[in-house]
């Protein structure tokens, strides 16, 4: 299905540069909201102030957001700074209250986008309402869920849509809080070239230090803007403290970003897509190696219980013949394959020997 979209420059005519949205993860108090907003109003690139008032928290004992009272604080931000205001909504009640309070842009969070029932309820309650809506990618890397959410809103008549790339839950061991999997937003852009797409480097990085590089990458991939969390005293933040920036530090990052001409973007995108695939495969390789070694250790325990030798030459020969055969068919070089298999085997033997020797080491 094609989306009926109004392009960003049509409904944001004064926007000449990437759309920058910033503000705290959560609205915590009127002072915190106003202090952050006043500092952000001094950063010329920032056009929209964000703050979550209904927070989707994993555990019920965490800070759940200040709720409805935060809407008045956002109204004050708008009145005093002129910034547009946006907040996360997850239910028809949130939408009703946000619309009543004159929120300029709504956003749907990653935990809501995964749920088609919630998305349909939200879309139904937005029928006949003319408001821009930002749709974060769902937590897990399923582009169809993301597209489905956009379609439901578009079917309800929302034409000012923005997709927000905030990364995906993936294997635990990785440098990011949420894996960027750049190929997914790139694919979304390929399918819907007119759909505005912005990046949320804060939730991808999970820490301040990664935000500049992720932001630059997003711009290099021709994304239309950035949503970056900021707080006037980030270390005291009640949610996502490690990833929130001081507004002054945000300004430095924004000043250093290079907005390239679209000339080499196709090349960049392809390269990025290929690199992301390699990254993903490496994580999978490491994960699989880790799992293999755990099973090898279980075999070691079992051999120990049953008094069987660690190295069984026949089994090893069978493995080599079998794996070499498969690997060569997959186009791997014979010498390379042999080296890799031997290394894995040596490490497996070492682990099983450790298991067998362990009581002796303990005794000595
Ligand atoms: C947020 O923006 O603070 C938030 C909760 O984001 P996400 O839905 O992407 O986790
Ligand atoms: Mn957050």
Read off the pLDDT band of 64 (50, 70, 90): very high
Mean pLDDT of all residues in 123-136: 97
Whether residue 3 has its Cβ less than 6 Å from ligand 1: no
pLDDT at 268: 64
pTM (predicted TM-score): 0.77
Residue 14 phi/psi, 5-degree rounding, is -85, -5
**How many angstroms separate the CA atoms of 1 and 143, rounded?**
14
Using the mean position of ligand 2's atoms as its centre, give its distance from the Cα of residue 336 in Å.
45
Whether residue 109 has its Cβ less than 6 Å from ligand 1: yes
Q: Using DSSP, state whether 245 is helix, strand or coil.
A: strand
pLDDT tens column, 218-267? 999 999 999 999 999 999 999 999 999 999 999 999 999 999 876 555 66
More confident residue, 114 or 360: 114
Whether residue 110 has its Cβ less than 6 Å from ligand 1: yes
Question: Concatenated DSSP letters for 280-336?
Answer: HHHHHHHHHHHHHHHHHHHHHHHHHHTT--S--HHHHHHHHHHHHHHHHHTT--HHH
* Percent over 90 (pLDDT), the chain: 72
Atom of ligand 1 nearest to the CA of 227: 2
Mean pLDDT of all residues in 105-122: 98
Length in residues, the chain: 364
Read off the pLDDT band of 327 (50, 70, 90): very high
Read off the pLDDT band of 118 (50, 70, 90): very high
Atom of ligand 1 nearest to the CA of 200: 9
**How many angstroms separate the CA atoms of 313 and 349, rounded?**
12
pLDDT at 309: 77
**How many angstroms separate the CA atoms of 160 and 264, rounded?**
28
Using the mean position of ligand 2's atoms as its centre, give its distance from the Cα of residue 203 in Å.
6
Read off the pLDDT band of 363 (50, 70, 90): very low
Q: How far is CA 291 from the centre of its chain?
A: 25
Which ligand minimizes its atom distance to the CA of 178? 1
Which ligand minimizes its atom distance to the CA of 57? 1
The residue whose CA is least distant from atom 4 of ligand 1 is 109
Instruction: Name which of 42-56, 113-127, 310-324 the model is least confident about.
Output: 310-324
Please list all protein residues whose beta carbon sits less than 5 angstroms from ligand 2, which is an ion: 25, 240
Q: Which tokens go with 1?
A: 């299905």
Read off the pLDDT band of 304 (50, 70, 90): confident
Tell the residue number behind the tokens 């390379």, with chain if given: 336
Longest dimension (CA), the chain: 79
> Quick check: 322 and 316 in contact, CB under 8 A?
no
Tell me which residue of 337, 360, 343, 345 sits closest to 310, measured CA to CA: 345
Q: Using DSSP, state whether 234 is helix, strand or coil.
A: helix
pLDDT at 81: 98
Q: Is 103 exposed, middle or buried (0-12, 13-18, 19+ CB in 10 A)?
A: buried
Other residues' Cβ atoms within 10 Å of the Cβ of residue 114: 17
CB environment 228-258: b (16+ within 10 A), e (fewer): bbbbbebeebbbbeebbbbbeebbebbeebe
pLDDT tens column, 160-216? 999 999 999 986 557 899 999 998 999 999 899 899 999 999 999 999 999 999 999
Using the mean position of ligand 1's atoms as its centre, give its distance from the Cα of residue 109 in Å.
5
Q: Which tokens go with 245?
A: 């920036």
**How many angstroms separate the CA atoms of 48 and 329, rounded?**
55
Which ligand minimizes its atom distance to the CA of 206? 2
Q: Using DSSP, state whether 94 is helix, strand or coil.
A: helix
Which ligand minimizes its atom distance to the CA of 88? 1
pLDDT at 34: 98
pLDDT tens column, 345-359? 899 889 988 887 765
In the chain, which residue ranges form alpha helices assigned H by DSSP? 8-11, 30-41, 69-81, 92-100, 110-113, 116-125, 143-155, 183-191, 201-205, 211-220, 247-256, 265-305, 313-329, 334-363
Q: What is the mean pLDDT of the chain?
A: 91
Q: Which tokens go with 337?
A: 């394959």
Using the mean position of ligand 2's atoms as its centre, give its distance from the Cα of residue 165 in Å.
13
pLDDT at 318: 87
Read off the pLDDT band of 13 (50, 70, 90): confident
pLDDT at 362: 44
Mean pLDDT of all residues in 59-64: 89
Q: Are strands 161-165 and 225-229 parallel, antiparallel or unpaired?
A: unpaired
């Amino acid at each position: 299905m094609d989306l009926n979209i109004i392009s960003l420059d049509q409904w944001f005519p004064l926007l000449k540069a990437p759309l920058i949205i910033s503000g705290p993860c959560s609205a915590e108090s009127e002072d915190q909201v106003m202090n952050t907003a006043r500092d952000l109003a001094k950063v010329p690139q920032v056009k929209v102030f964000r703050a979550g008032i209904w927070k989707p928290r994993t555990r019920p004992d965490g800070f759940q957001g200040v709720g409805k009272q935060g809407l008045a604080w956002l109204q004050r931000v708008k009145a005093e700074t002129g910034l547009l205001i946006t907040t996360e909504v997850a239910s028809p009640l949130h939408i009703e209250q946000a619309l009543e309070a004159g929120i300029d842009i709504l956003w749907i969070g990653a935990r809501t986008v995964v749920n088609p029932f919630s998305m349909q309820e939200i879309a139904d309650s937005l029928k006949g309402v003319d408001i821009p809506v930002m749709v974060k990618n769902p937590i897990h890397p399923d582009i169809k869920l993301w597209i489905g959410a956009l379609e439901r809103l578009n079917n309800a008549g929302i034409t000012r849509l923005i997709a927000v790339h905030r990364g995906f839950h993936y294997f635990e061991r990785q440098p990011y809080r949420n894996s960027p999997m750049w190929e997914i937003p790139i694919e979304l852009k390929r399918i819907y070239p007119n759909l505005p797409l912005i990046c949320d480097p804060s939730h991808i990085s999970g820490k301040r230090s990664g935000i500049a590089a992720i932001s630059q990458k997003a711009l290099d991939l021709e994304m239309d803007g950035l949503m970056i969390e900021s707080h006037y005293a980030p270390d005291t933040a009640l949610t996502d403290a490690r990833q929130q920036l001081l507004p002054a530090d945000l300004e430095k990052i924004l000043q250093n970003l290079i907005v390239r001409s679209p000339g080499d973007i196709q090349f960049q995108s392809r390269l990025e897509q290929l690199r992301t695939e390699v990254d993903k495969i490496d994580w999978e390789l490491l994960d699989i190696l880790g799992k293999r070694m755990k099973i090898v250790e279980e075999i070691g325990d079992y051999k120990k219980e049953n008094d069987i030798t660690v190295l069984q030459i026949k089994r090893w020969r069978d493995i080599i013949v079998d794996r070499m055969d498969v690997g060569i068919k997959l186009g791997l070089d014979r010498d390379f394959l042999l080296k890799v298999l031997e290394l894995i085997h040596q490490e497996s033997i070492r682990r099983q020997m450790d298991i067998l020797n362990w009581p002796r080491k303990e005794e000595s």
